[in-house]
Amino acid sequence: MDRRHFFKTGGMALAGFGLAGCGPKKVIQTAPTRQAVPAFAPRPAIDLTPPRITWDRVIRTTIGLRPHRDSGFVLKGMKFDDKTVIHDYGFGGAGMSLAWGCGAMAADMALEQGDRRAAVLGCGSPGLTAARQLQRRGFAVTIYTLAVPPYTTSNMSSAGFTPTAGLVSAEQRTPAWDAQFRQAAEISYRQLQLLAGAPGYGVYWIDNYNATDDPTLPVGGGPDGDLVPEHLRTGRDREVLGPGEHPFPTKYAIRTQALAIEPSIYLDALVRDFLLFGGKIVIRKFDTPRDLMSLNEPVIINCTGLGSKTLFNDDELVPIRGQLTVCIPQPEVHYRASGRLLNSTINASINPRSDGLVIGNMQERGNWSLEPNEEVRQQNVSAAIAFFAAMRAPTGGVRLTRSAPVRATPSLESFYGEES
């Protein structure tokens, strides 16, 4: 059964709260904390190479289904006959961001078993990181999975460090879940920082520009389920570039640091590491928990994402559909940017990767289709063409050279509210 068929037969009734982020999107939504605008002294303008976005440079449009649960991810162990199953799934738009942490916590739960053989179900970001965390603790691990990279949802990700994106509803959280979230986010943030210093993982820091006419808007405007109280919020260090100081067709541009992951490089690197440490991958589909009884391993970590809806009857799981359109890569564009022209209702965005210049996004709840939405594709590409064509051309080929001194280390909370 192919992946598309698998998800279509998942028995999901369409949840009717619609196209939350589909189509027109604001650059920045709710404002958790407004920040003071610094006084502007005249500074030399920043030069950035504008992205070349045209329809004939579009090479693909991808769809991915974020595995969302209103009450957040599931991280807990339970018994099925003589097997211990540890659930580790349901990460919404944060599965690239939180996986190392939840994987570590799942592996610690597995340590409570005497046996050091473990099975992992699923080979996306949660499955691979859980498998690596088990190996680091001395387990012999086999991954059993229907699909491997590049055919997982994780491969369809944007994928930035967005630990709260599409993750949880504020009303459904519990103190116990909050504590798990916090621990997972801290472990993951540290692990991704370390991978950003290692070659070959496709993890790196990159400048991010929010082009806007309102320089007081905070970084990260999406819903974060109020995961940190207002008084504990620390803003990520933002540099507000004033009129004339940046090349975007808006009054201001807010520059921050983003932590980025290239899914195809990253997931392949995780597969390579897993195999190097003696792991095995078996292609296999599981239909009911009874199928798990045939495995030799006494402990099983379930990282099947949306697959848990049918496999473990988790009715709370719902897809939040995302769509990315990709242009031919342009290596000289090494910054992320988003913004909107005055007369436009559509946000334009670029996310440069070595496998292409990624444009736009979408969050559509309850839709299981893996067919691209042509209307959204047209809107996103047209908005990007118009916005980035209006960027000021670089003068004399000068590249970005100026960076103000860092005022504050980017705290974990400063990434809350980032959309994915």
Which of 35, 411 has the CB closer to ligand FAD? 411
8 A C-beta contact, residue 186 and residue 315: no
**Contacts to ligand FAD by CB under 6 A:** 64, 66-67, 89, 91-97, 121-127, 145-147, 152-154, 156-160, 162, 165, 285-286, 303-305, 307, 311, 322, 324, 361, 420
| Cα–Cα dist 170/150, whole Å | 33
Which of 250, 349 has the CB closer to ligand FAD? 349
8 A C-beta contact, residue 128 and residue 96: no
Q: CB 29 → ligand FAD: shortest distance, Å?
A: 16
Which of 255, 353 has the CB closer to ligand FAD? 353
Length of the chain: 420
Residues 6+ apart with CB under 8 A from 197: none
What is the gyration radius of the CA atoms in the chain, in angstroms?
21
8 A C-beta contact, residue 335 and residue 206: yes
Question: Angle between the 175-196 and 95-110 helix axes, to the nearest 10 degrees?
Answer: 110
Q: CB 144 → ligand FAD: shortest distance, Å?
A: 6
Q: CB 192 → ligand FAD: shortest distance, Å?
A: 10
Q: CB 33 → ligand FAD: shortest distance, Å?
A: 22
Pairing of strands 280-283, 299-302: unpaired
Count of other CB atoms within 10 angstroms of residue 113: 17
CA-to-CA dists, residue 308 to 145, 316, 324, 391, 420, angstroms: 13, 10, 25, 45, 22
Q: CB 404 → ligand FAD: shortest distance, Å?
A: 26
Which of 249, 289 has the CB closer to ligand FAD? 289
Which of 189, 252 has the CB closer to ligand FAD? 189
Q: CB 278 → ligand FAD: shortest distance, Å?
A: 20
Which of 3, 334 has the CB closer to ligand FAD? 3
Query: Which of these, 307, 265, 317, 302, lies nearest to 130 by C-alpha position?
Result: 302
Q: CB 373 → ligand FAD: shortest distance, Å?
A: 12
Q: How far is CA 296 from the centre of its chain?
A: 33
Which of 10, 242 has the CB closer to ligand FAD? 10
